[in-house]
Structure 1
């Protein structure tokens, strides 16, 4: 929300001063994003009157007084930017609306306003004058109560492209993928035969790059799956748009009325295509609902709405009275929780560890990972999930072939012997599998 505080020139001020003020006000409002809320406050020294029929949407049905020259200027700017006067939206007594008394006539007038966008008028509960407030001025204090929720600005980041791993269901595609990986991985030669002398960072960088290049070349990226009326009827829409564009080039000097008539038929047909698409989707959803096919029903509805915005799950505070929604606060709360669990165990107490579960012994724990162990770990990866920032899904590892498994075994053996992992694995979760 952008709050603007103003003090406008009086009615008897020079015209140049008024023009400068309202031009500056217009420029300030234009520079505000149309997505932001606006609260325009202040003493405008203008009477907007109560003619809500002419200034519909700008003045409410409960205005007071008559309009003057300054009020006409202010009304014009508010109408241009779709702003409305909250003072005139509530049915109150005149003594609860007016804010200034004329020194000669002793009549009360409305000169101070709280102005918001027309779409945000539902956020204003009431706007009224406080008669008993002492403000050391001849104006009454104006109070407006808002009940609004300001959403944080979403980060506009392009979504990461996803590999089309569905092609790996084809045996021929798997064969091409394995041959491509074998060709790329065969060029990765170690500088030494000892696993303790290998450069972990360089080895993983070259291995990850080979996987990414092979996946892009063989699989490619998936296209948008959400249904869209324009994309599904692009074969019919493109000729219409091309014809309208060529007609516009052929008649550049047409009048506004002729331009409107030439584009009316194209717009009408586009609306018909859009309406037909929505009608067919509605019939499809209704058919799924009648047949109790709830999976297809919710899948179709979710596809029309598109992907939902993911938000962090709230966590209760230590006292249980507050919900923590910030990511950093959630991490700190989880750290505090686990620290409490660890503090319950007293290492000096020999009976404190009796309540902890006993784990079976791991035979031959110091041996390097074998090819079969790496194969079992790769097969346990989840499909359509990427384990790191390289965006390589589990299917690429599963169907990469024996040459990829051998390279992974050599790499993991080097990590095992040196006791380090690549820096890009800083968010990795190390899972220990215990065997009986």
Structure 2
């Protein structure tokens, strides 16, 4: 459920699986006319909220920041991508400093599109003051961020939307993972078997189709499973040959004679 931090900051955490969460922070930053003390207090409080978010959580920092960050991505290449608009102001400098500190990227600047799709205020002046921000290492989760022109809403801002697909990194437990069964690869030593195996694999891959809205990790796991199942069906498991503990070809071992000192004691 939403948790109000202040009259300008609200957070909400959504469970994605057992451990990771998606934390959404909604903000309404002070305008340019507010005193510097009010702006600094807001960003200090926002920094405190960001510090408490676990590193494994997904993050969406969204809202009206009343800040212009401009298009000069050479100053903050990890925060601003190549497709910003306008010029930066003092509020934008505060926002860029916060994003740099917590390694965040402004997704509004990630996508090449017309300026009218970036402009968030209902104004002829092209600039962005509403942002959707995420962690730099999770930027591949964001597929699009743009303003919705013509949306009927009672505000002087245009609605901003983003298409997001959260990719969850699975934890690998080395003790709990099971290794795939070994296959009888010696069967491929002959040309006829190799050619037959290639035909079986080509047929299996021809029937495999990518699923819609699936992540690259899911597609890779499915492809691995198709390849392994086909190989296991054709090759089978290797024959285990255990060496008998008794070898008839071994020569009889004679028991060594005890040392003379021991032999004398026995007599």
> Same fold by TM (over 0.5)?
yes
The match for 1:44 is 65
Q: Does 1:148 align with 2:166?
A: yes
| Structure 1 unaligned spans of 5+ | 155-304, 312-436
Which structure features the higher share of strand residues?
A: 2
Query: Retained in 2: the 8 A contact 1:101–1:108?
Result: no
The match for 1:13 is 34
Q: Structure 1's 55 and 151: CA in aligned 2 closer, same or farther, altered over 3 A? A: closer
The match for 1:117 is 135
* Residue aligned with 2:100, SS: helix
Of 53, 57, 75, the match for 1:32: 53
CA apart distance, 1:101: 3.8
1: CA distance between counterparts of 2:151 and 2:98?
Answer: 31
1: CA distance between counterparts of 2:155 and 2:176?
Answer: 50
1: CA distance between counterparts of 2:97 and 2:76?
Answer: 9
Deviating 4+ runs (over 4 angstroms)? 308-311
- RMSD over equivalenced CA pairs, Å: 1.9
Deviation sequence 1:37-66 (CA, Å, 0-9, x none): 110000000000011111111000000000
Of 64, 67, 81, the match for 2:85: 64
Name the TM-score, length of structure 2 as normaliser.
0.56
Name the TM-score, length of structure 1 as normaliser.
0.35
CA apart distance, 1:116: 0.2
Query: Retained in 1: the 8 A contact 2:85–2:115?
Result: yes
The match for 2:115 is 94
2: CA distance between counterparts of 1:52 and 1:10?
Answer: 23
Q: Structure 1's 124 and 308: CA in aligned 2 closer, same or farther, altered over 3 A? A: farther
Query: Of the two, which has the highest radius of gyration?
Result: 1
Which structure features the higher share of helix residues?
A: 1
1: CA distance between counterparts of 2:66 and 2:35?
Answer: 14
Deviation sequence 1:125-153 (CA, Å, 0-9, x none): 0001100211210100001001123468x
Deviation sequence 1:308-346 (CA, Å, 0-9, x none): 5459xxxxxxxxxxxxxxxxxxxxxxxxxxxxxxxxxxx
Q: Does 1:307 align with 2:180?
A: no
Query: Retained in 1: the 8 A contact 2:86–2:126?
Result: no
Query: Retained in 1: the 8 A contact 2:58–2:166?
Result: no
Deviation sequence 1:156-213 (CA, Å, 0-9, x none): xxxxxxxxxxxxxxxxxxxxxxxxxxxxxxxxxxxxxxxxxxxxxxxxxxxxxxxxxx
